[in-house]
Amino acid sequence: MFLSSHSPCLFLLLLLLFPTFCISSMSLSQQSSWASKKIRMRDKVRTMFYHAYDNYMTYAFPHDELKPLTKSYTDSLSELGNLKLEHLPHDYNGSALTLIESLSSLVIMGNNTEFEKAVLWLSENLKFDVDARINLFECNIRVLGGLVSAHLLASDSSKKLFQGTYNNQLLFLAEDLGKRFLPAFDTPTGLPYAWINLKYGVMENETTETSTSGCGSLILEMGALSKMTGDPRYESAALRALRKLWSMQSSLRLFGTTLDVETGEWIEFSSGIGAGVDSFYEYLLKAYILFGKEDFWRMFHSAYVAVQKYFRHGPWYHEADMRTGKATYWQLTSLQAFWPGLQVLIGDITAANSSHREFFHVWKRYGVLPERYLLDHRMIHPTEKYYPLRPELAESTFYLYQATKDPWYIEVGETIVNSLNRYTKIEGGFASVKDVTTMQLEDHQHSFFLAETCKYLYLLFDDSFVLENNYIFTTEGHPLPVLSAWHEKLPETYIPTNCTFMKRQTAARRISSMSLQVCPAMTLNPGKHVESACHIPDARSDYRCLTDEDCGVDSTTCRRRSCSIAGYCGLWIF
C-alpha cells in the first residue's frame, strides 16, 4: 500500500486525502460511536494476534509454523508449494518462519520489546547455510521480505524500537539469503528456477517449470536489498527476469500461468488474476511506487487494460486463454480478493468496490471464503473447499476504507473478525478450515495469518502506523517505506502518467485520480494530460460496434460504454 503523511514528499498517492464525505456527514454522536467501535475492534484483533503468536512461541518456536490442533510444529519453509524437504540435516531446527513474518506486525501493534527480543534471537541463531531445498518465490516474499522490512523499521531512529544499539543484523541475514538466491537466475533466459538448495544451489535434474508470479514477483524485495547494500546484483537479476517475462506476453498483452525457465516457452496458456499470476500484476504497480521507474507504470497500465478487457465480467474476473482472450474457467478463487485493493491504488474505486462486495457476499454465505468457487455453477469447487486463513479480503477492505472512509467497511472487518473467532479459534491458536461446508478444521496455522490477516485487520481499525510514513506493503504484507533516495529521478515538477506533484507558488498541490475521486483522462494544466488506468479503448477506432463487447470503458467517468442500436459505442446507459 502507498499512503501519504503530513511531511513533505515528492511522490505521493493520496489515499488519506481522499474525500471523507461518509465521516463528515455523520453527527458528532455517530462519529463517537464509530470511533469507539474501531477501538474495540482493534483490541479484539490484537488479542487474536497474540493468541496465535503466543501459541506459536510456546509450541512451535523456533520451527517454522504452528500445528494448533496438536500443539506441535511443522518445518514448512521447504515444503511450500506442496513439495517436501530433501536431505534435512539432523540438527535443523527450522527457520523461525512465523517469527520472521511477525516482526513488522509486532511493530505496528506497538510491542517494541518483543520486536527487539526477536531481532536479537534471529541475529544470533538464524542460519541459511543448510542443505534445504526451498521455493524461491515463497522464501523471497516471506523470509527475505520479512528481514528487509524489519531492518528498515529497526534502522529508523524515529521509531525508537531498540533500547540498545541496532547494528544491521537483519540486513546481514538478508544479504546472505539474497546471495543464495542468485544461482537460481543462471538460466539461458534469465528466468529463475522455482526451487533452489540454500547450501548447494540448483540441484541436478531440478524442475524447469515455474509460475508467472514465481519469476515476476521478486523485484520489491531484491530491489530493496540492492538499494540497502549497494550491490546491484539482486535488483539486476530480478529486473532481467521481469523484462524477459514481459517479452513473453501475447499479442493481446496477456500472460499464461506456468512456463519453462530454460526454453522461455509457456506451459499453461490459461490465466487470470488469481494463483500463479496475482502478485505479478501487484508488483508492477508497487515497483513503480517504490522505485519511481516509469517503465514499471507503462507495463502495469498495459497489463491492467488487458485484464479489464479480457478477464472482467461485471464484478467478477474469470480466466482466459492468453492467445485468444476466450474464457476458460469461470471461477472465483480466494487469492483474487487482493485485486480490489490494487485497484484502490490506481483510483479505480468503483470497480474495486463492485468486486469487493461480491467477495464479501460469498464470505457471508459460507462464513469464510472458500478457496475456489465455480461461478458458472454457483457452487464450491468439490475438491477445494478449504480456507487457510487467507488475508486477501481483509487487505482489500483496509484499502477501500482508507480510500473512502465509508464505515460500511468497518462493518465488513467486524464480520471477518467475528467469523475467524467463531470458526477458526481454538485453544492452541487459529486453525485453517479444511471444509467450509462443515467447518471441519485442519492442523495448520500459516505464518501469513500473523504477517497479513491480523495486520490488515488491525490497520483497518487503527491506521496510526501508516499516518507516520509512506509505505507500500509487499504481497506478504511486509511494509517498505517509500524513500525519495530510491527513486532514479524526481524533478520538482513530476508528471508521470497516473499521478502528479506540482508546485504552485509556495504551496504544493498533490493530484491523483484517487484524491480527486475520479478516474480521469483530464487536463491538469495546458499541455499536461493524465491518462486513466481504467480506460479501455473501443475495439475499433471509428467507435463502430456490433455488441457491447466491442465497447470499452470511458476514460473520464470509468463507466462501461455500450453499443447503440445504430451501432456506435458510447455512454448510452445512465
Alpha carbon dihedral 292, 295, 296, 297, in 10-degree steps, equals 90
Would you tell me how many other CB atoms lie within 10 Å of the CB of residue 364?
A: 13
- CA 153/CA 87 separation, integer angstroms: 35
Catalytic entry in 371, 414, 452, 554:
371
Measured distance CA(332)–CA(314) in Å, rounded: 13
Cα gap 193→140, rounded to integer Å: 13
Determine whether 325 is exposed, middle or buried from the number of CB atoms within 10 Å of its CB (0-12, 13-18, 19+). Answer: middle
Q: How far apart are CA 240 and CA 191, in angstroms?
A: 8
Active-site choice (64, 101, 175, 278)? 278
Q: Which residue of the set 101, 392, 414, 476 is catalytic?
A: 392
**With the CA atoms of 210, 195, 444 and 387 taken in that order, what torsion angle do they form, in degrees rounded to the nearest 10?**
-10
Catalytic residue among 101, 138, 319, 452: 138
Residue pointed to by grid coordinates 499470476: 277
Does residue 209 carry a catalytic annotation?
no
Of 293, 278, 225, which Cα lies nearest the Cα of 395? 278
Q: Spell out the residues 6+ positions from residue 380 whose beta carbon is closer than 8 angstroms to its own.
A: 366, 370, 372, 373, 374, 436, 437
- C-alpha separations of 176 from 110, 181, 241 in Å: 29, 9, 21
Could you say which DSSP state residue 498 is in? S
Residue 201: exposure state from Cβ atoms within 10 A (0-12, 13-18, ≥19): middle
Q: Are 553 and 308 in contact (CB under 8 A)?
A: yes
Long-range contacts of the stretch 303-306 (C-beta < 8 A, 24+): 303/249, 303/253, 303/255, 304/346, 304/533, 304/534, 305/253, 305/533, 305/535, 305/536, 306/252, 306/253, 306/254
Specify whether 278 is catalytic: yes
> Active-site positions?
138, 278, 371, 392
